[in-house]
Amino acid sequence: MYGANTVCIVASSCPSAEPTHYTFSHLPDSAETAIISRMRIFIIGAKGQLGTALTRCLNTHTLTLRDLPELDMTDREALSAEIDTVQPDLLINAAAYTNVDGCAQNPQLAYRVNGLGPQNLALACAEHDIPLVHVSTNEVFPGRKAAGYDEWDTLEPVNPYGRSKVAGEHNVRALWRKHYIVRTAWLYAPGGRNFIHAILRFARERGAIRVVTDEIGNPTNVADLAAAIKLLMTTGQYGTYHFVNSGACSRWEFANEILRLADLENVLNEQILSSEFDRASTPPPLGALNNNVGAAIGIALRPWQVALADYFRAEALDS
């Protein structure tokens, strides 16, 4: 049950060529301002899955879109010069090195992108008095809390990716007070390189899949995350947020729901443990996030099962 002033994100609130399917109970004044005001917004990491969703979601604003190779946020001088030229009202950092196994194999690169990059952004935003939205991850936590992690819980990463993201959060907090740190988890977006498409491909090719039961998180529709950031970005409620679709599940349960929506319930989904996989990095086993702070100012994301079903309809994945 959501409060009277809660915006329940049930799809994208973002303008597009297609009719919107976004509904809500009531918009607080700050959310109305976020939707109506035209801003100059600088998006770093514009080619990634979140950057692409934000570009679509914020297209009524004046957008400057940058990604590699045009701009490397680890190059402080180039970044500062670009911000001098653009003079944005807001900067969104959707860029990161998210290959968790790659981070384990090259922790120096992980820190350079996920730690030094945000440091440069925070310094540049402080110099120009620009609010900063910085996107982080559930992997800043150790994964031992069955009830899920709250925004104020102690950071204790268990792998190089998580450590690099903690470094980025620390740099942003330490260097610039006008920040929104937005943690998310298990993000999926249109395209063929995500957990959903991997499950469907293996199910159709092999007729059986094996999925871990001991990794828990929040499957999150990228369109819902972008819509939540849109509502947050002009509130002035600086701080740390957990924006994930509500509810949590194991990877095995997530796969089961994918198979159900794709009418592939005849496919065997074997339960296995993470220890049966040989990989460079180990994710936090109990990595679910709780949205307390966002809900307190009226921003709540819909249940993950509903968001996933909507994604299937939009992508026509059940055929």
* 64 strand-pairing partners: 42
Domain boundaries, the chain: 7-192+218-248+283-315
In terms of DSSP H, where are the helices of 49-159? 49-57, 76-86, 100-105, 107-111, 117-128
Task: Name which of 229, 306, 267 is nearest 50 in CA terms.
Answer: 229
CA distance 223 to 234: 18
Q: Phi and psi dihedrals of 246, rounded to 5?
A: -70, 150
222 vs 228: CA distance, rounded Å: 10
Supply the pLDDT for residue 6: 55
Q: What is the pLDDT of residues 75-134, one digit of tens each?
A: 999 999 999 999 999 999 999 999 999 999 999 999 999 999 999 999 999 999 999 999
Q: Are 250 and 150 in contact (CB under 8 A)?
A: no
Structure tokens at 282: 């180990």
* Triad 57, 289, 240: Cα angle to 5°: 65
How much is the pLDDT for 280?
83
Catalogue the active-site residues: 161
Q: What pLDDT, on the 0 to 100 scale, is given for residue 284?
A: 94
Q: Which pTM was predicted?
A: 0.90
The backbone torsions φ and ψ at residue 204, rounded to the nearest 5 degrees and listed phi first, read -75, -30
pLDDT over 90 (residue 306) = yes
Specify the long-range contacts of residues 251-256, CB closer than 8 Å, at least 24 apart: 251/195, 251/211, 251/212, 251/213, 251/215, 251/217, 252/211, 252/212, 252/213, 254/186, 254/195, 254/211, 254/219, 255/195, 255/199, 255/209, 255/211
pLDDT of residue 21: 33
Does residue 69 have a cis bond before it (omega within 30 degrees)? yes
Q: Which of 175, 191, 161, 160 is nearest to 47 (CA)?
A: 191
Please tell me the predicted confidence (pLDDT) of residue 15.
53
Query: What average pLDDT does range 255-278 have in this prediction?
Result: 94
In whole angstroms, what is the distance from residue 228 CA to residue 244 CA? 9
Structural fold of domain 7-192+218-248+283-315:
Rossmann fold (3.40.50)
Q: What is the pLDDT, as a whole number, of residue 9?
A: 60
Report the pLDDT value the prediction gives residue 31, as an integer from 0 to 100. 47
